[in-house]
Amino acid sequence: MSELQLGLLGIGVLVVVGVLAYNKLQERRLERQAKGLFGSSHDDVLLGGSAAPRRTAASSERIEPTLSEAPQESHAPGGALDVSVDYIATLETQQAVAGEAVSSAIVESLSSPAKPVRWEGRNRQTASWEPLAASGEYQLLRAGLQLVDRNGAANEQDLSGFGAMVRSVADAVGASCTLAEPAGARQRAQELDALCADLDVQIGLNLIARGGAVPGTRIRALAEAHGLALEADGLFYRRDESGLELYTLGNMEEPAFSADGMKALSARGLTLLLNVARVPGGIATLDRYVEFARVLAEALPAAIVDDNRQPLDQAGLSKIRAQLQALYASMEQQGIPAGSALALRLFS
């Protein structure tokens, strides 16, 4: 081979070796980055491993919040927060922080989100989540912004405001803060809002007096005889043993009922309202509600009509019952049984 050919061959070998070396360096660099992003250099404290070095809340070192696909989850049981309906942030300190200090930081954040926010702490004795208590001491906390209520889905402003609040609290108590990306929460909020819109049903039965206006004293006597009590909002409530609302009885026209005004009031019509999603008992409660309407209509006497003042006969009431049976089944299937704690949150 000529000197030129040997020289070209040598250059080719050097190029190949250089490319291989560069690729190896890149591989090691990416491996280190991946470990830095996803790895953990210490045991999980919640699973009984050794804790990382403690850090006091008064330390001047700032722990920056991080974003992730999902907030840090603990295997601790209990708690009201649910990743399917809440946008959850997790705060962790190296040294226990008093619940009173956390509560003060929440107040000082000057935040008032449009959606309900709940704070929970992990009880170190029971290893379970509990509502934040001023007397408690916590290393692990979490806050959740409810994604949906009867006013609609949480929007971008709601999510960003919540993020600012939890970061402010984290800074105040010296905690790290893990918060999921808001895009996924916005999508969940929209999907959940569409589902709740289909399930949010209220049934109203109107009773129109046949013989003229009915004295308020008679209405009150009949209501209380059947277990209803007049409350501050001007409605008679029938509640179950735990205090949950079953149905209400109100004046079909103005004014609302009041304890002082019942003697002077006369009503030409009454409205019985069943707030389906918030009421426990399912079809059994519906049957009690309809039976009370019939008893009341006979006692007044009055005609049972719909919102268009069209008479509701047995066939119409049976149709309503069949429709609600399907609705109750759908709520069970979606994991939101009527009257459950989750339903009370979503339909508030």
| Predicted local confidence at residue 187, as pLDDT | 95
Alpha-carbon distances, residue 73 vs 44, 76, 116, 295, 330 (angstroms): 11, 9, 21, 52, 29
Q: Which of 255, 238, 257 is nearest to 295 (CA)?
A: 238
pLDDT at residue 74 is higher than 60: no
| Predicted local confidence at residue 306, as pLDDT | 87
Mean pLDDT value of segment 45-68 = 33
Q: Which of 30, 146, 149, 134 is nearest to 84 (CA)?
A: 146
| Predicted local confidence at residue 14, as pLDDT | 45
Identical topology for domains 66-195 and 200-346:
yes
| Distance from C-alpha of 8 to C-alpha of 16, rounded to nearest angstrom | 13
Render pLDDT for 174-186 as a digit per residue (tens, 0 to 9): 999 999 889 999 9
| Residues 6+ positions from 163 with CB-CB distance below 8 Å | 89, 179, 182
pLDDT at residue 246 is higher than 70: yes
| Predicted local confidence at residue 308, as pLDDT | 85
Tell me which amino acid residue 81 is.
L
Render pLDDT for 112-152 as a digit per residue (tens, 0 to 9): 889 999 999 999 999 999 999 999 999 999 999 999 999 99
* Residue with the larger pLDDT of the pair 71 and 255: 255
pLDDT at residue 248 is higher than 80: yes
Fold exhibited by the domain 200-346: Cell Division Protein Zipa; Chain: A, (3.30.1400)
- Does a cis peptide bond (omega within 30 degrees of 0) precede residue 53? no
Q: To the nearest 10°, report the CA torsion of 154, 157, 160, 166.
A: -70
| Predicted local confidence at residue 289, as pLDDT | 97
| Distance from C-alpha of 339 to C-alpha of 347, rounded to nearest angstrom | 10
User: Tokens 């927060």 label which residue?
Assistant: 81
Asked whether the beta carbons of 297 and 303 are under 8 A apart, the reply is yes
| Distance from C-alpha of 59 to C-alpha of 297, rounded to nearest angstrom | 70
| Predicted local confidence at residue 211, as pLDDT | 86
Question: Residue 174, Cβ neighbours under 10 Å: how many?
Answer: 21
- Does a cis peptide bond (omega within 30 degrees of 0) precede residue 255? yes
pLDDT at residue 32 is higher than 90: no
Reading the block at residue 127, the tokens are: 């290893």
Question: Residue 262, Cβ neighbours under 10 Å: how many?
Answer: 18
- Which of 46-55, 186-195, 217-226 has the least mean pLDDT? 46-55
Domain boundaries 66-195, corresponding CATH code:
3.30.1400
Tell me which amino acid residue 47 is.
L
pLDDT band at 73 (very low <50, low <70, confident <90, very high): very low
The residues spanned by each domain of the chain are: 66-195, 200-346
Report the chain's mean pLDDT, rounded to a whole number: 83
pLDDT band at 79 (very low <50, low <70, confident <90, very high): confident
pLDDT at residue 25 is higher than 50: no
| Predicted local confidence at residue 180, as pLDDT | 87
| Predicted local confidence at residue 111, as pLDDT | 84
Between strands 66-68 and 176-180, the pairing is parallel
The CA-CA-CA angle for residues 202, 147, 273, to 5°, reads: 10
| Distance from C-alpha of 236 to C-alpha of 223, rounded to nearest angstrom | 7
